């Protein structure tokens, strides 16, 4: 039997936790009802399961269950938030602000709106990946309707100061959206304390199934109005039509519940593994850590190594460890990461970047093997280059 590589790409996706799968399975078979069927037991069972998941997710972020709208994932949630606000608020303004290091699921909807006549400001970040709040404040205008800043970067793991951004947006009466796909279950999130008006979530970054996510939509102070992007049935209070995928929703709720319960100890354990990996990789000459050294996800380590071909490095690592050079949505493209470019990295360093994503099932042995493999591969590539 061929040995599978050690999985260290947990920012791309995570395996479904067995406890999550166990919670989901009955809703594929015995409890298969449609949550919108209100006249019999099968529908009641599905509706109760959906409501329980809604309550779990709401509690995890300090929201109310009525503020949770289920989607197919964070990409749809981002599109619903950004396009939905733009269409609903067009009479109040046409200016949107986002950040250069955002995921394509935010940047692309924003650019689409720009093609329709909306004005878009894409803010730079500092060399450590953090947004300069002074820069954000200067960009705000009377016609600004939305600011979208992700909670935790999918490539470099940098954590943006959500509370400060939220306070600034609230002061200027501008809606604040955050893509929290990488953050939910990994850092504390509180939509009230952070003055967040819209928050995008997904299950598959937190040991839940693919194909399910949610959008938090504030109902009070202020009440956020969204124009739906899917029509046909009026599900989810008219914001997102379509039969609710009960097994997936149950999986999302269970995944969030487990992550929140284990967050304090799991964060410490994963951070320890990340630091162990970095300490060993530091022996490589010309290595750089991308992003803020401490204000980052505990399980993220994004490195660049000078004088090494990035694709050759990835190929050399593949038999032993599964890692990527950046976002799974764009890693197949032969182009330097737009995130690393925003940090000021040269194309050479951006091409020679590796993203390690440490997760729930990573062990010390995995880390030590990954470090040894990386060091050996870099040494081999440099020897070949000198020949």
Q: How many CB atoms lie within 10 A of CB 117?
A: 8
What is the structure's pLDDT at 333? 55
Bigger pLDDT: 158 or 3? Answer: 158
Which residues belong to the active site? 329
Could you report the per-residue pLDDT of 292-319, keeping only the tens digit for each? 999 999 999 999 999 898 889 999 999 9
Residue 153 has pLDDT above 70, yes or no: yes
> DSSP code of 2?
P
In which residue are the tokens 């501008």 written? Answer: 174
Give all domains of the chain, ordered by start, each with its CATH number: 6-13+263-386 (3.90.1150.10), 18-257 (3.40.640.10)
Res 236: pLDDT: 87
Q: How far apart are CA 74 and CA 102, in angstroms?
A: 13
For residue 213, the model assigns a pLDDT of 98
Q: What are the structure tokens assigned to 137, written together?
A: 């404040």
pLDDT at residue 170 greater than cutoff 90: yes
Taking only the tens place, the pLDDT of each residue in 40-96 is 999 999 999 999 999 999 999 999 999 999 999 999 999 999 999 999 999 999 999
Whole-number Cα distances in Å, 175 to 12, 228, 335 = 28, 17, 33
Output 384 or 347, whichever has higher pLDDT: 347
Q: Which two tokens stand for residue 72?
A: 């197919």
pLDDT score, position 237:
83
What residues are paired with 322 via a beta bridge? 7
Q: For residues 324 and 335, give the distance between their C-alpha atoms in angstroms, rounded to a whole number.
A: 14
List the 175-179 sheet strands across, edge first: 68-71, 213-217, 198-202, 175-179, 144-148, 95-99, 119-123
Query: Is the pLDDT at 249 greater than 60, yes or no?
Result: yes
Q: How far is CA 353 from the centre of its chain?
A: 19
First vs last C-alpha separation in the chain: 36
Give helix 364-386 / helix 246-281 axis angle, nearest 10°: 60
pLDDT in tens, 328-383: 555 455 678 999 999 999 988 888 899 999 999 999 999 999 999 999 999 999 98
Model pTM score: 0.95
Beta pairing, strands 95-99 & 119-123:
parallel
Report the alpha-carbon distance of residue 303 to residue 245 in Å, rounded: 38
Distances (CA, A) of 187 to 69, 161, 184, 291: 21, 12, 6, 17
Q: What are phi and psi of 214, to 5 degrees?
A: -155, 160
Burial of residue 246 (number of CB atoms within 10 Å: 0-12, 13-18, 19+): buried
């Amino acid at each position: 039997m061929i040995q599978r590589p050690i999985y260290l790409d947990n920012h791309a996706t995570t395996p479904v936790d067995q406890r999550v799968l166990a919670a989901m399975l009955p809703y594929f078979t015995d409890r298969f009802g449609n949550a919108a069927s209100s006249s019999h037991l099968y529908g009641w069972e599905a509706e109760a399961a959906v409501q329980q998941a809604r309550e779990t997710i709401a509690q995890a972020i300090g929201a109310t269950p009525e503020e949770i709208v289920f989607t197919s994932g964070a990409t749809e949630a981002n599109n619903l938030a950004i396009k939905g606000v733009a269409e609903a608020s067009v009479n109040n303004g046409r200016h949107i602000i986002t950040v250069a290091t955002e995921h394509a699921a935010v940047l692309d909807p924003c650019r689409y709106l720009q093609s329709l006549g909306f004005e878009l400001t894409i803010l730079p970040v500092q060399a450590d990946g953090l947004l300069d709040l002074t820069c954000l404040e200067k960009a705000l205008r009377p016609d600004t309707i939305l600011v979208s800043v992700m909670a935790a970067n999918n490539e470099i793991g940098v954590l943006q100061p959500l509370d400060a951004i939220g306070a600034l947006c609230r002061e200027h009466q501008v809606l604040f959206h955050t893509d929290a796909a990488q953050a939910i279950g990994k850092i504390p999130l509180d939509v009230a304390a952070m003055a967040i008006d819209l928050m995008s979530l997904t299950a598959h970054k937190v040991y839940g199934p693919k194909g399910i996510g949610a959008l938090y939509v504030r109902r009070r102070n202020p009440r956020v109005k969204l124009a739906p992007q899917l029509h046909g049935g009026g599900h989810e209070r008219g914001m997102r039509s379509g039969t609710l995928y009960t097994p997936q929703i149950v999986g999302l709720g269970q995944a969030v519940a487990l992550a929140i319960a284990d967050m304090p100890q799991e964060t410490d354990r994963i951070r320890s593994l990340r630091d162990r990996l970095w300490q060993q990789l530091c022996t490589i000459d010309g290595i750089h850590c991308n992003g803020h050294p401490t204000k980052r996800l505990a399980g993220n380590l994004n490195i660049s190594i000078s004088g090494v071909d990035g694709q050759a490095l990835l190929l050399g690592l593949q038999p032993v460890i599964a890692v990527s050079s950046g976002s799974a949505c764009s890693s197949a493209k032969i182009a330097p990461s737009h995130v690393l470019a925003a940090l000021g990295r040269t194309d050479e360093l951006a091409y020679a970047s590796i993203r390690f994503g440490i997760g729930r099932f990573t062990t010390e042995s995995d880390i030590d093997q990954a470090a040894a493999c990386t060091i050996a591969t870099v040494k081999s590539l440099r020897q070949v280059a000198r020949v």
